[in-house]
Structure 1
Amino acid sequence: MQEYALTVDKFLVHAAKWHGSVEVVSADPGGVTRKSYAETLDRSRRLSGALLGLGLRRGDRVGTLAWNTRHHLEMWYGTMGVGMVCHTLNPRLTADHLAAMIDQAEDRILAVGSGLGEVGRALMARCPSLEKLIILDGDPVEGGQLDLEAMIEGSNERPVWGGFDEQTPAGLCFTSGTTGAPKGVLYTHRSNYLNTIRSLQSDCLALSRSDVALITVPMFHANAWGFPFSAPAAGSTLVLPGRLMDGASLAHLIRSEGVTVTAGVPTVWIGLLDHVEANDLQVPSLERIILGGAGAPESLIRRMEDRLGVRVQTSWGMTELSPMGTLSPPDEVALASGRPAMGLDMLLTDAEGVPLPEQRNVVGHLKVKGPSVARQYFKAAAPALDADGWFDTGDLAIIDDGGALTLAGRSKDLIKSGGEWINPVDIEDIIGADPSVGLVAVIARVDDKWGERPLLVVEPRQGHSVESGALLKSLKGRVADWWIPDRVVQVEAMPLAATGKIDKTRLRADYGQALG
């Protein structure tokens, strides 16, 4: 057989050759813009030439601090195509966090998107490895900075992409840090390529050339669930929403572009639902929503399916998995987190890491193994695997007789009260089904007598009020009496981590201490 390195540049090259007129649609600061895959390939290759002209070489890290736009997409492929590492940074993090990640990665270049020029300049001043600041879109270019459009227009070099080993690093992404210090995951071309092929299966993302895919998952988080690779690989139209992710903006894009499939975290879809309900709108083109990033109550899934007329696919994944773990098929009722596609194996163990004798219908600590699973964190001294090569996800899970995975919470989120364990997920599922509740979280509160007690935190659904006593009463008979929280805290807005998940670290800091 031929030698054929599995490198991600081949996805855009394929799209340009066989789906060249299909568009990348981008909600840019000045309005919606369009470039075909053929144009996107040419622009990205010219950008590669401009970056090489700056003295960058294979293996150098290029930081991006940007939203989901075509300019960001061009930077992805412009760097990865010639063997540089695209280090995606989260614009919602503090400057201190961003600087620490840039310093650890030793990024040489920083590319920033709309509204982020000031942050970029501040990072240039404090991060010694940074040599140049590239303005991607929207912001004015000041002295010493580079303009992406000018770089592309001024470049006549179109270097050949690929030609290197498939184990060459392609991307660097730090974990969200919601349960601990962020850790870097260094993706290879091979891991991204294999994850993309897995995701395109008919029981997974199932993208085709007739699809119009809207990516609300940030490109700075876990490879945007792989859509910047899978959409061009399938020849799907790619719609990038830019900075605005509110319900009105997303509804407009879905309706105007004829979006058929989209993906994102529950908070995004709550915003879309509130908007279409308040304005009596329909989104007739939309067929599927891939839901992930955080657990969603059955009531939200049913509301999405009934009001939007879509099929919801639930999923589970991690930054360390490149990121796809499991996905419910498009033709099944989505309640569990789905099954793993070929290429990911799963194992349930006890707290000491010993495999459970029975792997079905029991709660265990979830471990995984596969070619797109991290072996070791970036610059870590030791592997992140156990002696048998399994990666500990930190999740508790159940696998049913049909192989479907259901998460039972993070092991770090378990509450130990009076020496016994309480699982917050069970309480959150019940409370989340209440029509007056928008978002819900259960955290541990320090207790002088019991060690820890559960605390219920709720954000009322828009236009509704919550009665705390009724919420607690709804738990009676459905969980053990001693599981029922002693107190309810109502918040106007649930704190969210930078990736859209509920920030339990912040909640524990705000409400986790003993009552005075």
Structure 2
Amino acid sequence: MPSYSLTVDKFLEHAAKWWGQREVVSAQAGGTDHIGYAALRDRSNCLSGALRSLGLHPGDRVGTLGWNTRHHFEMYYATMGAGFVCHTLNPRYTVEHLAAIINEAGDRALAVTSSLATFLDALLPLCPTIEHVVVMDGELPGDSSAQEWTARSWLLETLLDQRGTPVAWGEFDEEVPAGLCYTSGTTGPPKGVLYTHRGNYLHTLRVLQADAIALTDRDVVLAAVPMFHANGWGLPFAVPAVGAKLVLPGRHADGASLAALLRDEKVTVAVGVHTLWLGVIDHLGAVGGELPDLERILIGGSSCPETLIRRMEERLGVRIQTSWGMTELYPTGTMASPARRSLGNQTSGRPVMGVDIRLTDADGKTLSRQRGVTGHLRIKGASVIDRYYRSDVDVLDDDGYFETGDLASIDEDGNLAIRGRSKDLIKSGGEWINPSEIEDIVGQHAAVSLVAVIGRADEKWGERPVLVVEPRGGMALESAELLAWLKGKVADWWIPDRVELVSAMPLAATGKIDKLRLRSTFGGIDLDDENPDC
């Protein structure tokens, strides 16, 4: 057999050749932008040549600071196809946080959306490695002309017009880096994960399985997962790989904006964290309307309350697929089958072909019994991290498994259920309390929208749990009512000593509940001490 390198450019090449007129749709001010895969491939390929003309070489890191847009999608393939490393940056981070990540990565160029270009005045003086700036859409800010960085900046369209040149994609080994993404920092200092072409390619084949995302060319996919978070859960590769229509929401992910895209573009599969779909349901509840084409919603990122799953299924008439993954896994680990999710089952599905999981004790010893017990979750596979970026320490154990930091159980059918983060466990009076179990119970209350449990230092017991709840919009809720709800469902000494009702739960940049922020606000923990890089 001839050699055939598994490089990600082949996904867009395939879409351009066989589904050239299928669209990538991007929300923007005043409407939507539409382009076919064939035209997008040609633009992206010429953009590779333009980036080369700036003096970039294979292996150089190109940072991207943008939302889910067509231009960001073009930059994905322009960088990766030419052998550069696409370093997706989270625009919700602080300038100092972004600068620390850019400097560690050694980014030589930065592609930024025009709405975020105001960051650059403060950011670029802190980033000496950045030699070129590409504004992916729109114009430079009107007050930026006096800034030093404008002398080394290009508008993307100008760069394409003046320097765009077709290049041969994929002329490198499949093991070279394709992308760089940093962990969210919700549980500790962010760490870089370097994705290879081979790893991305194998991950794409994995998630396209019939018991995973199971996309086909008849689907219209709304990718509401940020493209700057863990490769957008692999959707920028998986969707063109099957010739499905791709819908990108831009910077606005509120309920009204998402509902309009779902309806107008006849979306069949929507993907994102559950907090997004809560906004869609609340919007439809306020103004009415239906989403008749929507068939499935794939959720992940954090545990979804059972009441919200029921609300989504009943209000939208869709199937809900739960999943579990991490930045370190490219990111998918397990996924519920699109055909077999049963109401009331809060598992994250089975491992898809290509990964294996096991449960261990706290010391890493494999549990003799793997089903029906809770243990520390480890995972192994071709798309699993070996070591963090710029680290010389392997993170795999002797059997090649990665310690995820999650507590989990596996039921008799092989479905994984995440039982919380091991570092989130609360030690009270020498015994462990699992916040996840309390959160699952409180989340079933009809008046609860979002819930989190954190530990607070206690002079007598060491730590005691604090319950933080965002009530469902317009519904009254009392602390005593929540504590009574827990009575008899957990041990009495597990019941929190304090309840904090908040108008809006703090969310991290990835849409997960920001427990670091909650610990800082309600747990007596200094945020800078717990996560010095944030």
TM tier, smaller:
over 0.9
Show the counterpart of 2:301: 293
Show the counterpart of 2:42: 42
Does the 8 Å CA contact 2:182/2:193 hold for their aligned counterparts? yes
Deviation at 1:157, TM superposition (A): 1.2
Using structure 1 for the length normalisation, give the TM-score: 0.98
Write the letter of the residue equivalent to 1:327.
M
Q: What secondary structure does 2:213 align onto?
A: coil
How many residues matched?
A: 514
Does the 8 Å CA contact 1:29/1:138 hold for their aligned counterparts? no
Deviation at 1:156, TM superposition (A): 4.4
Q: What secondary structure does 2:115 align onto?
A: coil
Decide which of 432, 442, 451 is 1:431's aligned counterpart. Answer: 442
Matches within 5 A, 1:132-147: 132-140=132-140, 142=145, 143-144=150-151, 145-147=153-155
Does the 8 Å CA contact 2:114/2:140 hold for their aligned counterparts? no
Matches within 5 A, 1:368-387: 368-387=379-398
Structure 1 residue 315 corresponds to structure 2 residue 323: yes
Show the counterpart of 2:123: 123
Show the counterpart of 2:528: none
Separation (CA, whole Å) in 1 of partners of 2:461 and 2:18: 64
Q: What secondary structure does 1:204 align onto?
A: coil
Structure 1 residue 210 corresponds to structure 2 residue 218: yes
Matches within 5 A, 1:183-262: 183-262=191-270
Show the counterpart of 2:9: 9
Show the counterpart of 1:52: 52
CA separation of 1:312/1:114 partners in 2, compared to 1, >3 Å: closer, same or farther?
A: farther
Separation (CA, whole Å) in 2 of partners of 1:437 and 1:387: 44
Separation (CA, whole Å) in 1 of partners of 2:114 and 2:371: 48
Structure 1 residue 481 corresponds to structure 2 residue 489: no
Q: What secondary structure does 2:32 align onto?
A: strand
Separation (CA, whole Å) in 2 of partners of 1:236 and 1:154: 32
Deviation at 1:28, TM superposition (A): 2.2
Q: What secondary structure does 1:115 align onto?
A: helix
Show the counterpart of 1:20: 20
Write the letter of the residue equivalent to 2:264.
S
Show the counterpart of 2:462: 451
Separation (CA, whole Å) in 2 of partners of 1:128 and 1:383: 30
Decide which of 337, 341, 346 is 2:357's aligned counterpart. Answer: 346
Decide which of 392, 406, 415 is 2:403's aligned counterpart. Answer: 392
Structure 1 residue 465 corresponds to structure 2 residue 465: no
Moved over 6 A (4+): none
Separation (CA, whole Å) in 2 of partners of 1:108 and 1:116: 18
Deviation at 1:155, TM superposition (A): 3.5
Does the 8 Å CA contact 1:196/1:229 hold for their aligned counterparts? yes
Deviation at 1:30, TM superposition (A): 4.8
Q: What's the Cα RMSD here?
A: 1.0
Separation (CA, whole Å) in 2 of partners of 1:476 and 1:297: 19
Does the 8 Å CA contact 1:204/1:328 hold for their aligned counterparts? yes
Higher alpha-carbon deviation: 400-409 or 332-341: 332-341
In structure 2, list runs of 5 or more residues that go unmatched: 526-534
Separation (CA, whole Å) in 1 of partners of 2:373 and 2:437: 15
Structure 1 residue 284 corresponds to structure 2 residue 292: yes
Separation (CA, whole Å) in 1 of partners of 2:50 and 2:29: 24
Decide which of 189, 198, 219 is 1:181's aligned counterpart. Answer: 189
Decide which of 253, 256, 264 is 2:272's aligned counterpart. Answer: 264
Higher alpha-carbon deviation: 99-108 or 463-472: 463-472
Separation (CA, whole Å) in 1 of partners of 2:160 and 2:280: 36
Separation (CA, whole Å) in 2 of partners of 1:114 and 1:366: 42
Structure 1 residue 95 corresponds to structure 2 residue 95: yes
Does the 8 Å CA contact 2:58/2:84 hold for their aligned counterparts? yes
Structure 1 residue 361 corresponds to structure 2 residue 369: no
Decide which of 417, 421, 426 is 2:432's aligned counterpart. Answer: 421
Show the counterpart of 1:498: 509
Show the counterpart of 1:402: 413
Separation (CA, whole Å) in 1 of partners of 2:161 and 2:275: 39
Separation (CA, whole Å) in 2 of partners of 1:152 and 1:421: 59
Does the 8 Å CA contact 1:385/1:392 hold for their aligned counterparts? yes
Deviation at 1:138, TM superposition (A): 3.0
Write the letter of the residue equivalent to 1:307.
R
In structure 1, list runs of 5 or more residues that go unmatched: none
Show the counterpart of 2:171: 163
Q: What secondary structure does 1:64 align onto?
A: strand
Separation (CA, whole Å) in 2 of partners of 1:134 and 1:156: 13
